[in-house]
Amino acid sequence: MVLPKSSKIYVAGHHGLVGSAIWNNLLQRGYHNLIGRSHKELDLLDSVAVKQFFDEERPDAVVLAAAHVGGIMANLQYRADFIYQNLQIQQNVIGESYRHGVSKLLFLGSTCIYPRMAPQPMREDALLTSPLEYTNEPYAIAKIAGLKMCESFSIQYGCNYIAVMPTNLYGPNDNFHLENSHVLPAMIRKVYLAKCLNEGDMELVRKDLNLRPVEGVSGKNSDKEILDELAKFGITPEAVTLWGTGSPLREFLWSEDMADASVHVLLNVDFADTHEPDAKEIRNCHINVGSGVEISIRSLAEKVVAEIDFRGELRWDASKPDGTPRKLTDVSKLHSLGWRHKVEINEGIHRLYEWYKQGICINHQTQ
């Protein structure tokens, strides 16, 4: 199915890491009839508001990139929030898309849907074959429900709803919260702040905290208050302490690569392309999106330290959880559908660090 350039496309979560990149990718491809709503403008947890939005806008296609996300600590502490909010968002958006005759829908999930001990690399058919990783089980179950909704609506009603499962993402507009962000942005910020402390540059530390306060501590606090707060997150002038042992292997994908893959699937792949035409049971129709390349968390941290030129020590707190030992996607299905990644990890770390520094400078200049 071809989406004309005039198609009205609703990008849910268009301010987020992936949603903003998808929005820009669509614009670059000549799709200018895009709709986006901030959380303040449209609460996707509110079924009445979502119905009213679809009644008024009548989009031709939908990209569901909105989700309640976070790192290991957030997933452990806010288990109810992660399952409830994501289920509610998916129920509202996918349900109204069907009721309003949306011709194409793309749902973004996560590779945490796969079992903790799934065979590596993880193929799409590894889904639901053994227990999930405990730390993010509620989030994973919500995402499994989302992909099964896409699959089931397409099977029963002939919809053209496709689910893509991205690996660990990073890039512009990332979340650099020290506690609730994903591993790479948090790592970059921790090492950057430790470098500033190591070099005695409290002015840069204050600029950073003014842009992103930590537990209420900003650049306006005293040196002691700032140092005490950062130390709670393993950030000192002498060392950066990171969670776990550093041994887990992870795969990373630049967010703009993910956006390009998503738009490629939206424009070029139909539900019928996601499974064998003569299959007796139609399942596992989702598509892994990743680089197919893995790196240990320790090696990743060493690359970040080298990029930022931090002269202190890198330490590991083995009392904290590592999460899944290994999580590499099999991307042969995606490759067969005509897409491959472009940005390798060294280039990506450099780009993200430059974006992060630029944001601090721009924000400081406008204050």
Q: Which residues are catalytic?
A: 139
Q: What distances in angstroms separate CA 197 from CA 203, 215, 231, 356, one per listed residue? A: 10, 19, 11, 17
Contact 284, 165 (CB under 8 A): no
The one-letter amino acid code at 210 reads: N
Burial 25-52 (b: 16+ CB within 10 A, else e): bbeeeebeebebbeeeebbbbeeeebee
3-state helix, strand, coil in the chain (%, to 5): 45, 15, 40
Give CA–CA dist 330/111, Å, rounded: 11
| Residue where the block lists tokens 């990718």 | 25
Which residues sit opposite 252 in a β-bridge?
A: 168
Look at strands 61-64 and 104-108 and give their pairing: parallel
Structure tokens at 125: 């058919």
Closest by Cα among 92, 11, 106, 104 to 52: 92
H-helix or E-strand containing 93?
A: helix 79-99
